[in-house]
Amino acid sequence: MKATGLPSVASTFQKIKGQAGARWQELQDSRAVIMVGAATCGRAAGALKVLRAFKDELKKQNLDCPVFEVGCMGHCYAEPIVIIAKPGYPSIVYQQVNPVIAQRLVREFILGDDSCLEFVLGALEENELVPGLADFPRARFEQKVILKNCGHIDPEDIDHYIAGGGYSAFVKALQLKPEQIINEVKKSGLRGRGGAGFATGEKWATCRNAPGKPRYVICNGDEGDPGAFMDRAILESDPHSVIEGMLIAGYAVGAGHGYIYVRAEYPLAVHRTRLALSQARKLNLLGKNILGSDFSFDIKLFQGSGAFVCGEETALIASLEGKAGTPGHRPPYPAVSGLEGKPTLINNVKTLAFIRHIIDKGARWFTGIGTKNSPGTAVFALAGKVVNTGLTEVPMGTTLRQVIFDVGSGIPGGKPFKAVQIGGPSGGCLPESALDLPIDFDSLTQAGAMMGSGGMIVLDEDDCMVEIARYFLEFTQRESCGKCTFCRLGTKQMLEMLAEFTRGKGKIKDLDTLTELAEDVRAGSLCGLGRTAPNPVLTNLRYFRDEYEAHIREGRCPALMCQELIAFYIIPDKCELTCDACVGNCTVEAIYSHPKKRYKIIDQEKCVKCGTCLTACPPQYNAIVKLSPPTEVPK
């Protein structure tokens, strides 16, 4: 597939780019531009109400300013986020904006010139008025490549993407030979960001060289790990970057059709991706004879029905073909025999989003970032017990400590760090001793965890490791398709053992059985889901065996988390006699006053351990504690 008529491709695109640039410039020349962060995280925090408030107030004030939605900047903890760019001022980012603040911003900043510094998070550019986001401690470690556009352009407007240099890499690629592109990707050392870290260039070459036509390109957006939302954020904030990656991939491997597989639980990602596809089609960036070349490529969006296992490539293909989403044996790999038995390239959302940058800036630029065997950046979704929840992108080789403590600002309330669950249910729990580990594909695998897709859940002293292992195993066990023996029955047996431990039951020798079984499930399962399902348990047992032993031997949960192993107790000396907060809040009337001394007592028989009393007890008394084992409660 050779692209002919090269000058016309470049000049056709130049025209499109010129129009997009003009529209972008028009935006910059307006009185002020208001951008409301309205990805799922922003919407959950009330971004749509804020958007409405801006529109209403502007109308009321008779102002004609562009207001539009942008995606996620990564500062999910500060949502709803609004960026206002007003000529004469730096672009200012406001945090936790509500409709009232929106009104004030219109009246005082857009109409007047008070920039309302009390609501500011930071500024996008260096200036003398507002501290820049670049001066934040986290900025020292972050390097935004594929998240660069996220939160700064309207994902529903293709012109924003094009004006910022979008689709130029694809036009450049059209003027190269497919082999040259594959070589560049190979040289860049890009590894698949879906989790396993397979060399992307190798996959492309295998697919291109495989006999059989047509070939297909599939974008895997079936992100399903608890605590991971990177792919969602990219599809919601910058869908064209993924489409451009697929176009380049399609041209390189010689495919004519592509599919974006997104889970149906991501309605906004589905909506924005669909819109992006139709806009690209309108400009002939998709479709027949793209931009006048002889390369034709179109993409369809396919919604997955919510099965985690469909993130596994053979199961994903089965699901695309209309069959039940169960995996098959590999080899043959999809690159050789995939969709309908044809060579099929499957890449993760993030992997594809990197492609335009590699083509644009070259492999050498890419290898300059990150570590030797894992070049480039890594995107992490920070969740759990961390101050700055949200998205971040750091060069590979950054340590866990830098990500959690510098980018994430550590643990709320200054509590001690206990572990980080990295890579979701396929990854592992790493303890404090691993904090200085430089993160890349190989170092994490060595530590027993896995890069996975990039979810990072931070745990503190209140999290019980046995319960965490049980939680993740319950997830994989529920999401197992049930096809193969090890995953269907092995994870079930493991889950039963872990559930026993959280109830203080089981025997010490069960720990050995659990370890053996976990190793066998890892070695014996048919697909990646089963093979990685034991990881949380195995790392947990390796680093936190003492917690398992406390549960089994003493019936004690050191983190005071496992319900059956704790009891709530009111310390008589601390209890304020006239306060009835706990009594009033108890859902099962388990709390009563001592008949003579008036302090409160919990009837352990009635108590359902919901913890409401603990939150209800005013902080100045702090009279209620959790004890483990329950026999610790004084008679």
Partner 1 sequence: MKTVSLTIDGKEIKAPVGEKVLWAALDNDIYIPHLCARHDNSAPDASCRLCWVEIEGKSRPVTACTETVEAGMVVNTKGQAALRLARTAIELLLASNEVDCASCAKSGACELQKIAAHLKVKLKTRRFKKILRHLPVDSSSPLFTYDPNKCVLCGQCIQVCRQRLGIGALGFAHRGFNRRMTTFGDQPIGQSECQNCGDCVAACPTGALCFK
By beta-carbon proximity to partner 1, the closer residue of 486 and 569 is: 486
Smallest Cα–Cα separation from 476: which of 311, 318, 323, 314? 311
- β-pairing verdict for 298-304 and 257-263: parallel
Output 309 or 465, the one with its CB closest to partner 1.
309
Question: From the list 483, 503, 505, 542, which residue makes contact with partner 1 (rule: CB under 8 A)?
Answer: 483
Q: How far is the CB of 314 from partner 1 (least distance, A)?
A: 11
DSSP 53-117: HHHHHHHHTT----EEEE---S-GGG-S-EEEE-TTSPPEEE-S--HHHHHHIIIIIIISS---G
485 contributes a contact to partner 1 by CB under 8 A: yes
Tokens of 505: 């039951």
Which range in 177-185, 253-261, 489-497, 563-571 contacts partner 1 by CB under 8 A? 489-497
Alpha-carbon distance of 348 to 261, in angstroms, equals: 10
Distance of alpha carbon 137 from alpha carbon 407, whole angstroms: 7
Told to check if 493 binds partner 1 by CB under 8 A, we report yes
CB-nearer residue toward partner 1: 446 or 622 = 446
Shortest separation between residue 189's beta carbon and partner 1, angstroms: 25
Q: Which tokens belong to 563?
A: 């319900």
> Which of residues 164, 524, 555, 629 is near partner 1 by CB under 8 A?
524
Q: Measure the CA–CA gap between 424 and 528, rounded to whole angstroms.
A: 13
Q: Lay out the site mask for partner 1 across 274-313 (x = CB under 8 A, - = otherwise).
A: ---------------------------------x------
Indicate whether 477 belongs to the interface with partner 1 (CB under 8 A).
yes
Radius of gyration of the chain (CA): 27
Tokens of 492: 């079930």
Q: 131: how many CB neighbours lie within 10 A of its CB?
A: 14
Give the separation between CA 322 and CA 410, rounded to whole angstroms. 45
In the complex with partner 1, the residue whose CB is nearer, 191 or 522, is: 522
Q: Residue count at the site for partner 1 (CB under 8 A)?
A: 29
CB of 321 to partner 1, least distance (A): 13
For partner 1, the closer CB: 390 or 506: 506
Please list the helix, strand and coil fractions of the chain in percent, rounded to the nearest 5, in that order: 45, 15, 40
Which span (66-74, 427-435, 487-495, 555-563) binds partner 1, by CB under 8 A? 487-495
Residue selected from 87, 137, 368, 482 as contacting partner 1 according to rule CB under 8 A: 482
Instruction: Identify which of residues 92 and 495 has a Cβ nearer to partner 1 in the complex.
Output: 495
Please identify, using beta-carbon distances, which residue of 200 and 480 lies nearer to partner 1. 480
Q: What are phi and psi of 634, to 5 degrees?
A: -65, 145
Of the residues 480, 502, 532, 628, which one makes contact with partner 1 according to CB under 8 A: 480
* The 3-state secondary structure of 419-434, one letter per residue: EEEECHHHCEEEEHHH
Return the residue of 492, 545, 598, 606 that touches partner 1, per CB under 8 A.
492
Q: Where does this chain touch partner 1 (CB under 8 A) — which range of 251-259, 403-411, 480-488, 612-620?
A: 480-488
Closest by CA to 456, choosing from 429, 474, 478, 416, is: 429
* Shortest distance, position 527 Cβ to partner 1, whole Å: 10
Q: Cβ 439 to partner 1, closest distance in Å? A: 27
Q: Which positions from 495 through 514 interact with partner 1, judged by CB under 8 A?
A: 496-497, 513
Residues 206-235 as x/- pattern, contact with partner 1 by CB under 8 A:
------------------------------
Single out the segment in contact with partner 1 by CB under 8 A; choices: 247-255, 358-366, 391-399, 475-483: 475-483
CA dihedral over 270, 276, 280, 285, signed as positive or negative: negative
CA-to-CA separations, 226 to 230, 249, 383, 559, in angstroms, rounded: 12, 29, 10, 21
Q: Are 286 and 397 in contact (CB under 8 A)?
A: no
Please list, in sequence order, all residues whose beta carbon lies within 8 angstroms of the beta carbon of residue 191, skipping any fewer than 6 positions away.
197, 198, 199, 200, 374, 376, 441
> Per CB under 8 A, does 478 bind partner 1?
yes
Here the contacts of 605-612 (C-beta below 8 Å, separation 24 or greater) are 607/567, 607/568, 609/563, 609/566, 609/567, 609/568, 611/568, 612/585, 612/586, 612/587
Among 479, 557, 561, 628, binds partner 1 (CB under 8 A): 479
Check binding of 520 to partner 1 (CB under 8 A): yes
Environment class of 335 (CB within 10 Å of its CB; exposed 0-12, middle 13-18, buried 19+) = buried
Q: Is 314 in the site for partner 1 (CB under 8 A)?
A: no
481 lies in the site for partner 1, by CB under 8 A: yes
Reported as type and span, the H/E element at residue 179 is helix 178-188
In the region spanning residues 324 to 343, those forming contacts with partner 1, defined by CB under 8 A, are 324, 328-329
Stretch that binds partner 1, among 42-50, 245-253, 416-424, 522-530 (CB under 8 A): 522-530
Q: How far apart are CA 383 and CA 486, in angstroms?
A: 30
Q: How far apart are CA 276 and CA 235, in angstroms?
A: 10
Binding test (CB under 8 A) with partner 1, winner from 264, 523, 577, 588: 523
> What's the closest the beta carbon of residue 476 comes to partner 1, in angstroms?
9
Q: Which one of 374, 525, 532, 535 is in contact with partner 1 (CB under 8 A)?
A: 525
Q: Within a 10 A sphere around the Cβ of 460, how many other Cβ atoms?
A: 19
Minimum Å gap between C-beta 485 and partner 1 is 5
Nearer to partner 1, 324 or 508 (CB): 324
What letter would DSSP give residue 361?
H
| Interacting residue with partner 1 among 490, 504, 558, 630 (CB under 8 A) | 490
- Using DSSP, state whether 391 is helix, strand or coil: strand
Least spacing, CB of residue 333 vs partner 1, in Å: 13
Residue of 1, 120, 437, 489 that binds partner 1 (CB under 8 A): 489
- Supply the minimum distance, in Å, between the C-beta of residue 20 and partner 1: 46
Determine if 484 is a binding residue for partner 1 (CB under 8 A).
Answer: yes
Through-space distance between the first and last CA atoms of the chain, rounded to whole angstroms = 83
Question: Which residue of 359, 468, 526, 570 would you call a contact of partner 1, by CB under 8 A?
Answer: 526
Q: Name residue 47's amino acid.
A: A
Select 359 or 497, whichever has its Cβ closest to partner 1: 497
Tell whether residue 596 is a contact of partner 1 (CB under 8 A): no
Task: Give the interface with partner 1 as residue ranges (CB under 8 A).
Answer: 307, 324, 328-329, 477-486, 488-490, 492-493, 496-497, 513, 516-517, 520, 523-526
